[in-house]
């Protein structure tokens, strides 16, 4: 709209000051004057006025006749000149009308785009903090209709109390000292008083009349932040699921191996020994064959809960696979691991496991291997514990054997 007004003002000035300077106007005017002078001279040379007065008997009005002839010639010249100018101006006026129409269409299109642009809330705020413009996205984002927002104080409408004073100061500084408001995230209020997380930016605009206007562009991040938060929770859940045994809810093989690798790296810094223990439920195949896999799963869950209750907070109990469990004991040597392992075996043997009114007698065998800084892979350390466990199986089961 401002561009249109400025153009029309310039056009009016050009119409006022260019009547005698347009295209060939000065030359044509000179030609007309010269023609009038030549005609007048010819009239004088040939005494046309005397002949006319002689014919009509008006010798006493010679001067009047000559003036009338001059006036007639000037009138004809002006008519010709004016007609030429009118033709030129009509072309310009038609061109201006066409330009004005196109400009109006572009302005309408631009305003329509700005007003209806989806997802970008745009509002204008004056020096007195009143809202001067409110597009459709503002209505959708903040809940206020155009009629409810225009003329209202922006801080009374959508600015929460927590940022009220800072917001007003920033607006005043921008208008008075041209200190820009830093773009970034900001809290706004919805009509229902719920808080919105918004990415916002302020921009100053100067009109053709020299007035300054401040506009705010905002994008609602509330849903994005909520989605991001949910996605983060989902990723954590997926990460946990990927490292958790679905049956016992213990760390799975991958997770327990990572924990052992971490303890091995920690040993390089602190030289703190750690021990692992391989735990295998005795005669577990017989349980599955006799009572079914549901019973076997129930037994594994009960033993898992029992071991978690017996070990320390820093210890890690994981399901290695099938009926085998792997126990990681940080800051513990083989003697300390032996005491914990014996306690676990005693409690498993005494623990009453009842499945569908059937009491089950369960035992387990444990093999222990400690890490003292030797050049050995985690897989080989586990093999040592596994070998010690199978040695206990061969000696009658329900035993703890420490690898040599």
Instruction: Look up the CATH number of the domain holding residue 212.
Output: 3.30.450.20
Predicted confidence at residue 48, as pLDDT, reads: 59
Higher pLDDT, 358 or 342: 342
Predicted confidence at residue 96, as pLDDT, reads: 78
User: Of the ranges 5-14, 24-33, 252-261, 290-299, which one carries the lowest mean pLDDT score?
Assistant: 5-14
How many C-beta atoms lie closer than 10 Å to residue 203's C-beta?
14
Tell me the C-alpha distance between 8 and 396, whole Å.
107
Predicted confidence at residue 1, as pLDDT, reads: 42
Q: 240-265: per-residue pLDDT in tens?
A: 888 999 999 999 999 999 999 999 99
**Are 12 and 52 contained in the same domain?**
yes
Predicted confidence at residue 46, as pLDDT, reads: 62
pLDDT mean across residues, the chain: 83
pTM exceeds 0.95, yes or no: no
Q: Is the predicted pLDDT of residue 204 greater than 70, yes or no?
A: yes
Tell me the C-alpha distance between 339 and 375, whole Å.
26
Average pLDDT over residues 309-321: 94
User: Of the ranges 43-57, 79-93, 131-145, 301-315, which one carries the lowest mean pLDDT score?
Assistant: 43-57
**Are 372 and 287 contained in the same domain?**
yes
Tell me the C-alpha distance between 281 and 363, whole Å.
6
Q: Do the Cβ atoms of 153 and 132 come closer than 8 Å? A: no
Predicted confidence at residue 60, as pLDDT, reads: 53
Percent of the chain with pLDDT over 90: 41
Predicted confidence at residue 255, as pLDDT, reads: 94
**Are 252 and 397 contained in the same domain?**
yes
Higher pLDDT, 92 or 286: 286
Higher pLDDT, 65 or 57: 65
Predicted confidence at residue 400, as pLDDT, reads: 95
Q: Phi, psi at residue 43, to the nearest 5°?
A: -65, -40
Confidence band, pLDDT 50/70/90 cuts, at residue 87: confident
**Are 280 and 199 contained in the same domain?**
no
Task: Let me know the angle formed at the C-alpha of 125 by 121 and 129, rounded to the nearest 5 degrees.
Answer: 130
Q: Is the predicted pLDDT of residue 318 greater than 60, yes or no?
A: yes
Tell me the C-alpha distance between 356 and 375, whole Å.
49
Q: Do the Cβ atoms of 95 and 103 come closer than 8 Å? A: no
Tell me the C-alpha distance between 100 and 94, whole Å.
10
Q: Is the predicted pLDDT of residue 21 greater than 60, yes or no?
A: no
Q: Which residue, 320, 331, 299, is CA-closest to 366?
A: 320
- Write down which residue in 63, 98, 116 finishes a domain: 116
CA 313 to chain centre: 42
**Are 254 and 345 contained in the same domain?**
yes
**Are 131 and 112 contained in the same domain?**
no
**Are 181 and 270 contained in the same domain?**
no
State the total domains in the chain: 3
Predicted confidence at residue 47, as pLDDT, reads: 64
Q: Is the predicted pLDDT of residue 19 greater than 50, yes or no?
A: no
Tell me the C-alpha distance between 170 and 175, whole Å.
9
Predicted confidence at residue 345, as pLDDT, reads: 95
Q: 69-86: per-residue pLDDT in tens?
A: 777 777 877 777 677 766
Q: Do the Cβ atoms of 295 and 303 come closer than 8 Å? A: no
**Are 260 and 357 contained in the same domain?**
yes
**Are 83 and 208 contained in the same domain?**
no
Q: Specify if 236 maps to a domain.
A: no
Average pLDDT over residues 284-289: 92
Q: What is the CATH number of the domain that holds 251?
A: 3.30.70.270
Q: Is the predicted pLDDT of residue 211 greater than 50, yes or no?
A: yes
Length of the chain: 404
Instruction: Tell me which residue range forms the domain holding 93.
Output: 2-116
Predicted confidence at residue 9, as pLDDT, reads: 43
**Are 213 and 189 contained in the same domain?**
yes
Map tokens 């209750």 to a residue.
309
Q: Is the predicted pLDDT of residue 379 greater than 80, yes or no?
A: yes
Q: Specify if 231 maps to a domain.
A: no
């Amino acid at each position: 709209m401002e561009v249109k007004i400025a153009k029309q003002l310039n056009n009016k000035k050009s119409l006022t000051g260019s009547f005698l300077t347009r295209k060939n106007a000065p030359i044509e005017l000179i030609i007309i004057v010269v023609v009038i002078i030549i005609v007048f001279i010819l009239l004088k040379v040939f005494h046309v006025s005397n002949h006319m007065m002689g014919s009509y008997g008006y010798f006493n009005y010679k001067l009047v006749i000559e003036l009338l002839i001059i006036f007639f010639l000037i009138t004809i010249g002006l008519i010709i000149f004016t007609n030429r100018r009118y033709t030129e101006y009509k072309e310009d006026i038609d061109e201006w009308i066409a330009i004005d129409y196109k400009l109006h269409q572009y302005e309408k299109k631009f305003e329509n785009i700005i007003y209806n642009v989806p997802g970008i809330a745009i509002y204008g705020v004056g020096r007195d903090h009143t809202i001067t413009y409110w597009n459709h996205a503002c209505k959708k984002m903040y809940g206020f209709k155009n009629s409810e927002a225009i003329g209202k104080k922006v801080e009374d409408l959508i600015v929460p109390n927590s940022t009220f004073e800072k917001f007003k100061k920033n607006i005043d500084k921008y208008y008075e000292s041209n200190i820009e408001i830093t773009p970034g995230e900001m809290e706004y209020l919805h009509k229902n008083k719920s808080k919105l997380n918004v990415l916002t930016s302020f921009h100053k605009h100067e009109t053709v009349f020299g007035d300054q206007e401040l506009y705010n562009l905002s994008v609602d991040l509330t849903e994005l932040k909520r989605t991001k938060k949910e996605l983060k929770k989902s990723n954590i859940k997926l990460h946990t699921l990927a490292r958790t045994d679905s049956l016992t809810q213990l760390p799975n093989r991958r997770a327990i191996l990572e924990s052992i690798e971490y303890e091995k790296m920690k040993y390089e810094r602190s030289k703190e020994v750690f021990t692992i223990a391989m735990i295998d439920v005795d005669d577990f195949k017989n349980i599955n064959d006799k009572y079914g896999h549901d019973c076997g799963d129930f037994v594994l869950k009960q033993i898992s809960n029992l071991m978690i209750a017996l070990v320390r907070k820093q210890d890690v109990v994981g399901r290695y696979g099938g009926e085998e469990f792997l126990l990681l004991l940080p800051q513990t040597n083989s003697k300390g691991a032996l005491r914990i392992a014996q306690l676990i075996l005693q409690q498993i043997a005494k623990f009453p496991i009842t499945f569908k009114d059937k009491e089950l007698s369960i035992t387990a065998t444990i093999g222990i291997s400690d890490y003292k800084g030797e050049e050995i892979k985690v897989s080989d350390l586990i093999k040592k514990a596994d070998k010690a466990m199978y040695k206990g199986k061969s000696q009658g089961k329900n035993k703890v054997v420490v690898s040599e």
